[in-house]
Amino acid sequence: FSGYKLIGSHSGVKLCRWTKSMLRGRGGCYKHTFYGIESHRCMEATPSLACANKCVFCWRHHTNPVGTEWRWKMDQPEMILQEAIENHQNMIKQFKGVAGVKADRFEEAMTVKHCALSLVGEPIMYPEINQFVKLLHQHSISSFLVTNAQFPDEIRNLEPVTQLYVSVDASTKESLKRIDRPLFKDFWQRFLDSLKALSEKQQRTVYRLTLVKAWNVDELKAYADLISLGKPDFIEVKGVTYCGESSASNLTMANVPWHEEVVRFVQDLADLIPDYEIACEHEHSNCLLIAHKKFKINGEWCTWIDYGRFQELVQEHERSGGSRTFTAADYTAKTPRWALFGSRERGFDPSDIRYQRKNKARDISGC
């Protein structure tokens, strides 16, 4: 389904369209622009296909299982990671010699360097998530973990990851119920507790806001309050992607904000949160990055990640039994000029060539 490969009884891996794009020198995803991820070396996976929400903009059209607790026979993290990497490499191999694929990037792509744990479902529901993340780091793979802010205890108990995301799809109880359609009765308290748990994390944290036009754009002040609650390092704001007609959702093209509208929303939001500023933009995927001012060092944005340094720090943390702690400030890297908000490139890496597709509505997925 949707091009992803199932692993065992509850995991999956998929080749992201940005991985394919960067293999061809057509540009990386916004994580490349904002954080220096190499999109052609990024594996999109999840150890839990199940989820506790049925979001209206879910591009999976609700064919994945939903539930509020783990109730599957549990596969071991070693097996999941090994099969995920093998499946990922097999999907990459299909691009060998394909027209436009750059030979050097194809070679690099065979070694996974990043893992986006955001494919589908709720990775944090997997009982061995900490062990799974540790295995990623032992393979020198960075971890970008996305959670739907319904499992506060699991967030609290999570070992360090390279970057921890929570999806903040709405700013009031009513709109969250309408947009995320959560299964938990106490979903709002869980949501708030998840944001509080995030504020206690020392490594990089991100709020992911998905703007649905005519739904959640009027809630600026409430968003600002949620930001002061979770104190994230970064806030990604993305216009919702229209995934085509679906019985599972009544979203239409009219709900998709134009890039200029997203920019305006982000500027208005930034005005309400004095500790933050707009740092980066990826116009290609209708996405902007607001960053905490502590990442502006001597007047220069440092939103990128020093991945080698992160691996050193996380291994030290491991070896010390968790007593050697480290923070987001310890593994930053300078953001290149082309990635900054207001740059002429608008977040498109000048070492690649932008490709305009004739048929725009083809591939909608991607984290």
For 300, how many CA atoms within 13 A lie in the half-sphere containing its CB?
Answer: 10
Domain layout of the chain by residue ranges: 7-59+72-339
pLDDT computed for residue 43 by the predictor: 94
State the Cα–Cα distance between residues 367 and 116, nearest whole angstrom: 8
State the Cα–Cα distance between residues 144 and 167, nearest whole angstrom: 13
pLDDT computed for residue 210 by the predictor: 81
pLDDT computed for residue 278 by the predictor: 97
pLDDT computed for residue 262 by the predictor: 84
For 89, how many CA atoms within 13 A lie in the half-sphere containing its CB?
Answer: 12
Residues 6+ apart with CB under 8 A from 70: 48, 50, 125, 126, 127
pLDDT tens per residue across all 367 residues of the chain: 456 788 888 888 988 888 898 999 888 889 999 999 999 999 999 888 877 777 765 654 445 567 777 777 789 999 999 999 999 999 999 999 898 999 999 999 999 999 999 766 788 989 999 999 999 999 999 999 999 899 999 999 999 999 999 999 888 999 889 888 888 899 999 999 999 999 999 999 999 988 775 445 567 889 999 999 999 999 999 886 544 444 445 545 555 556 788 888 899 999 999 999 999 999 888 899 999 999 999 999 999 999 999 999 999 999 999 999 999 999 999 999 999 999 888 888 888 887 765 554 444 444 4
State the Cα–Cα distance between residues 329 and 313, nearest whole angstrom: 12
Q: pTM above the 0.85 mark?
A: yes
CA-nearest of 160, 221, 170 to 195 is 170
pLDDT computed for residue 356 by the predictor: 63
Q: Side chain identity at 306, as an amino acid letter?
A: D
pLDDT computed for residue 4 by the predictor: 74
For 80, how many CA atoms within 13 A lie in the half-sphere containing its CB?
Answer: 29
Name which CATH class applies to 7-59+72-339. alpha beta
The H-assigned helical ranges of the chain are: 17-23, 30-35, 77-93, 103-109, 129-138, 152-157, 173-180, 187-199, 220-230, 259-272, 307-319
CA-nearest of 144, 3, 126, 125 to 60 is 3
DSSP 279-329: EEEEGGGTEEEEEEGGGEETTEE--EE-HHHHHHHHHHHHHTTT-S---GG
Calculate the alpha carbon distances from 189 to 194, 197, 229, 301 in Å. 8, 12, 13, 35
